[in-house]
Amino acid sequence: MNDTDLPKLSGRLPSTLDDGAVDDPRFRAAEDGIRALLAAIGEDPGRDGLRDTPARVVRAFAEYCAGYAQDPVALLRKTFDEVSGYRDLVILTDIDFVSHCEHHLAPIVGRAHIAYLPSKAVVGISKLARVVDAYARRLQIQERMTAQIAGCIEAGLAPSGVGVVVDAEHGCMTLRGVNKRAPRLRTQAFTGRLADDPRLQQRLLDAIPTTW
């Protein structure tokens, strides 16, 4: 799978206030935008309690979106090939993440579950969680994030197959709009042997705890 949505690695807001970010004109413009938003909801952006809020919000969004600065495939560069012929599924479940929807900038809170069939090397399992975060920390829709994670593992490890299942609650449905208490969206992507073999898919699905 081609990852056509690899991030632009420049032109983003810095994710911290270090290294001169305070002087970045985009940072200042974004703060003005938050001040305008505060005024639009009937607040006084000049009152004491809100004076530092625009800068905080911009910093927070830079942090929520820090994944744009990462190259997720590069996270999988270090692999281990001394696995004594291990060829079965590697399954990592319940990788929690927070993302933000690109429609409302509302939080998406969920868990990703990943399986892959190694062809020769395996990767440190923390790297799979790092890949999830690199895509979650962007503005997303869940379907795209799911496909991106699968595509990244495919590109980074060239395994015999990948399965990614994502379960998440969307703030834009639970906190506003239709206001449903806890609808959970499941998306999944399978490649290679997992795309061809429903029994391999089922092994990943069976490994996912039913509660969270």
Specify the stretch interacting with ligand GTP by CB under 6 A; choose among 2-10, 21-29, 129-137, 139-147.
139-147
* Closest residue by Cα to residue 125 from 114, 117, 141: 114
* Closest residue by Cα to residue 149 from 170, 127, 171: 127
In this structure, the number of other CB atoms found within 10 A of the CB of residue 142 comes to 19
100 is in an annotated binding site: no
101 is in an annotated binding site: yes
103 in contact with ligand GTP (CB under 6 A): yes
What minimum distance in Å lies between the beta carbon of 170 and ligand GTP?
5
172 in contact with ligand GTP (CB under 6 A): yes
What minimum distance in Å lies between the beta carbon of 185 and ligand GTP?
6
With respect to ligand GTP, which residue has the nearer C-beta, 12 or 144?
A: 144
Could you say which of ligand GTP, Zn ion, none residue 203 binds, taking C-beta under 5 to 8 angstroms by partner kind?
none
152 is in an annotated binding site: no
Q: What is the Cα–Cα distance from 128 to 164, expressed in whole angstroms?
A: 11
What is the total residue count of the chain? 212
With respect to Zn ion, which residue has the nearer C-beta, 134 or 168?
A: 168
Contact 50, 43 (CB under 8 A): yes
Closest residue to bound ligand GTP by CB: 177
Contact 139, 105 (CB under 8 A): yes
Among 33, 177, 183, 198, binds ligand GTP (CB under 6 A): 177
Q: What is the Cα–Cα distance from 82 to 89, expressed in whole angstroms?
A: 16
What minimum distance in Å lies between the beta carbon of 199 and ligand GTP?
28
Collapse the DSSP code of 191 into the 3-class scheme (helix H, G, I; strand E, B; otherwise coil) and give the result. strand
Contact 53, 41 (CB under 8 A): no
As annotated, the binding site includes: 101, 104, 172
Residues in contact with ligand GTP by CB under 6 A are: 101, 103, 141-143, 170, 172-173, 177-178
